Every structure is written in C-alpha cells, then in structure tokens.
C-alpha cells in the first residue's frame, strides 16, 4: 500500500514571532483555520478515495506552529483526527504535525502521545545560532536539540526542516546543520531554499542591497551536496523546495525558487556521477545504459546534462537496460 499525506493547513494567527522570511499578513490573510467538524468532513470524504487508490495517509496538520495554537482548538483537531485513525486504520496510518522547536515541552508531548501523533516536524531552519538570531527566529540551536531529544524519547518520528540561504547564512553552515540533524537521529528532513517574499524583513534587506540569499546555481550545488549527505546517512529527504504555487510566484522578490527544483538538483547529482565515471573510463564518446524511468534524469532537466557534457566535448547515446541506474561504456566498447 502506498503512503501519502493528507495535509490540513492550520495557520498560526497572531503568532508573536517575526521571522525574517515570513509574511504573516499573507499567511494569515488568505487562510482560515478549519473547524474540527470541517476536518471530520474532509477525512470522511477522503476515505473512499484512499480505498480506491490503495493509499494510506497520515493526517498532517501543517502550516504554522501546531503546538502553539489555542490548546482547546488543537485538542479538538487531534480528537477528530484520532477518531478517523481508529475507525479507518487501513486508510489513516497516523497523525503528523509541524511546529517550532521552542513549542515542545513535556505537557505537549503527553498530549501528542495521548492522541496518537506519530510524527512531529520541527522548523529548525539552521543549527547556527548567529543565523537564527539574524533571522529573528526567537529560538536557539539548543532548543532544536532539546525538542528533538524529547520527540525521540516519546517514540515519535522526528522530522527536521532546514532553510538554506537565510540572512547571514553560508553554504558551510548549511552542511554543518545537516551534520547536526544526522547526529540528532532525525527520521526525515525537508530542505527549503530561502524564497524572499514581499513584505518580509528579508525583502527590506534585499532592497537595501545588504542581502540576496544564495544564487540559484549555489543553491543547486549546495542542495546536491545535502542530498548526497542525507543519502549516505540513510535519512530520507521528503521535500526539497517550496511547492509550486502561483501565490509564491507572485509574492517572490528573490531567492532560489523553481517549480522543478527537486528535478534540477537530482539532475546535477546524476551529472556528477556520470562525469566521474566518464573521467575514469577516458575518451569523449560514450554509451549509457539505464532503466527507461531514469532516462530523463540522465539527460538532465530540460536536457541540461547532455548540454553541459557537450560543452566539454563529450557526447553519449542512451540505451535502455531494465533495473539499471547508470552503466557507462566507451562508445567503441565491444559490449555495446
């Protein structure tokens, strides 16, 4: 059975924080917090669809700092979700939520455990205190360590979210953040390259000319390294980049944003593997065997790998080989 998330957006209205990248007016103005009865209606309506598609969903309360919203409201939402997990265990495999690292304590953990929450994602953003401070996050790296330890101690899956290219950030700080995430034994990671939105502190800094996040190229290189690192550590990266949205495209004034960022980064990783292998073999004409499903990855997003190799005088033909990711031969190899 395939796994999926059924996301229910819970905006954090009246959030007392002023994170540099967040446009609260946009967030709180456009989204209304759903009533618990509406959540029940959504969950009930999804049951036959999940059954039909042989899917099991986690009910995901995302969008803001779930554990910081009004306690009674939060409990009603958790009650609604837990009713559906109990009634339809085949269709609803658990409950997940996202929150801030400083909004986790023993009382909250008891509550999450009581309602059967299976995963908590923390918006850590960076493990560098200077970066956290410069971006007015209002929490420290130590808060992330403490909250992560608590979530793991309660036997709940730990997800950590990081941003790259915040004000004062450097690629090496991001790699250090990744290393700390692995030390905290997180179960999943989400990576969000900073997108500068209108009306944020980052946008003001950009207008003053003192900040402009990492370039697109720097971001692709960095994200490729981060994916290599998390793959080596066996930690799934369940999201790279913001979901494509018209609203983000409209509000964006800078930062690395592309609706297909994940594909572009995966293409870059494949390019590096291909180039390393080709350099080992030597020559400039190759045949690449790969499974049909990997062919676009080998060519690269929009043919970027083919083009980048051609610029170095390297050409290749692709041949289909089932179950193979990458097998490269010199073009004059008799095995072709």
200 touches ligand SF4 by CB under 6 A? no
Pairing of strands 252-255, 195-197: antiparallel
Residue from 73, 129, 80 nearest 101 by CA? 129
12 touches ligand SF4 by CB under 6 A? yes
Residues 6+ apart with CB under 8 A from 164: 171, 174, 191, 192, 193, 194, 214, 219, 222, 223, 226
Q: Which is nearer to ligand SF4, 4 or 28 (CB)?
A: 28
Q: Which is nearer to ligand SF4, 200 or 299 (CB)?
A: 200
In whole angstroms, how close is the CB of 146 to ligand SF4 at the nearest point?
17
In whole angstroms, how close is the CB of 251 to ligand SF4 at the nearest point?
14
DSSP secondary structure letter of residue 293: G
Are the beta carbons of 288 and 327 closer than 8 angstroms?
A: yes
15 touches ligand SF4 by CB under 6 A? yes
190 touches ligand SF4 by CB under 6 A? no
18 touches ligand SF4 by CB under 6 A? yes
In whole angstroms, how close is the CB of 181 to ligand SF4 at the nearest point?
19
Task: Report CA-CA distances (Å) from 126 to 168, 219, 327.
Answer: 11, 15, 37
Q: Which residue is nearest to ligand SF4 (CB)?
A: 22
Are the beta carbons of 8 and 42 closer than 8 angstroms?
A: yes
22 touches ligand SF4 by CB under 6 A? yes
160 touches ligand SF4 by CB under 6 A? no
65 touches ligand SF4 by CB under 6 A? yes
Q: How far apart are CA 111 and CA 131, in angstroms?
A: 31
Residues 6+ apart with CB under 8 A from 128: 141, 169, 173, 176, 177
Axis-axis angle for helices 71-87, 106-114 (nearest 10):
30
Q: How far apart are CA 14 and CA 24, in angstroms?
A: 9
19 touches ligand SF4 by CB under 6 A? yes
Site string for ligand SF4, 295-324 (x = CB under 6 A): ------------------------------
In whole angstroms, how close is the CB of 252 to ligand SF4 at the nearest point?
16
In whole angstroms, how close is the CB of 23 to ligand SF4 at the nearest point?
8
Q: How far apart are CA 11 and CA 22, in angstroms?
A: 12
Terminal CA-to-CA distance of the chain, rounded, Å? Answer: 39
Residues 96-125 that bind ligand SF4 (CB under 6 A): 100
DSSP secondary structure letter of residue 198: T
Axis-axis angle for helices 171-183, 216-232 (nearest 10):
20
In whole angstroms, how close is the CB of 108 to ligand SF4 at the nearest point?
16
Stretch of 19-27, 72-80, 106-114, 328-336 contacting ligand SF4, by CB under 6 A: 19-27
What's the number of CA atoms in the CB half-sphere (13 Å) around residue 334? Answer: 0
In whole angstroms, how close is the CB of 53 to ligand SF4 at the nearest point?
32
251 touches ligand SF4 by CB under 6 A? no
In whole angstroms, how close is the CB of 206 to ligand SF4 at the nearest point?
18
Q: Indicate which single residue of 34, 64, 241, 254 sits in contact with ligand SF4 (rule: CB under 6 A).
A: 64
Stretch of 16-24, 166-174, 266-274, 307-315 contacting ligand SF4, by CB under 6 A: 16-24
Q: Which is nearer to ligand SF4, 65 or 128 (CB)?
A: 65
Binding site residues, ligand SF4, CB under 6 A:
12, 15, 17-19, 22, 24, 64-65, 100
């Amino acid at each position: 059975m395939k796994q999926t998330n059924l996301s229910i957006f819970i905006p954090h209205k009246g959030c007392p924080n002023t994170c540099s990248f967040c446009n609260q007016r946009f967030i709180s103005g456009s989204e209304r917090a759903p009533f618990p009865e509406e959540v029940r209606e959504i969950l009930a309506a999804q049951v036959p669809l999940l059954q039909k598609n042989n899917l099991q969903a986690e009910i995901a309360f995302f969008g803001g700092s779930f554990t910081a919203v009004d306690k009674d409201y939060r409990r009603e939402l958790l009650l609604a979700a837990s009713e559906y997990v109990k009634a339809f265990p085949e269709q609803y495999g658990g409950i997940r939520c996202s929150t801030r690292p400083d909004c986790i304590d023993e009382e909250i953990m008891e509550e999450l455990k009581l309602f059967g929450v299976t995963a908590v994602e923390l918006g850590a953003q960076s493990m560098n205190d200077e970066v956290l401070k410069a971006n007015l996050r209002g929490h420290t790296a130590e808060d992330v360590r403490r909250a992560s330890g608590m979530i793991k101690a309660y036997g709940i899956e730990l997800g950590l979210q990081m941003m790259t290219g915040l004000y004062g950030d450097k690629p090496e700080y991001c790699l250090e953040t990744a290393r700390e995430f692995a030390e905290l034994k997180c179960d999943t990671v989400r990576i969000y390259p900073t997108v500068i939105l209108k009306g944020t502190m980052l946008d003001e800094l950009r207008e003053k000319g003192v900040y402009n996040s990492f370039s697109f190229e720097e971001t692709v290189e960095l994200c490729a390294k981060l994916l290599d690192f998390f793959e080596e550590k066996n930690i799934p990266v369940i999201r790279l980049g913001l979901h494509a949205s018209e609203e983000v495209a409209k509000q964006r004034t800078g930062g690395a944003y592309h609706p297909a960022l994940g594909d572009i980064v995966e293409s870059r990783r494949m390019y590096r593997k291909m180039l390393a292998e080709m350099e080992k073999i030597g020559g400039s004409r190759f045949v690449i065997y790969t499974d049909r499903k990997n062919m676009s990855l080998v060519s690269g997003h929009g043919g970027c790998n083919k083009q980048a190799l051609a610029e170095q005088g390297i050409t290749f033909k692709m041949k289909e080989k089932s179950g193979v990711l990458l097998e490269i031969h010199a073009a004059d190899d008799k095995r072709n």
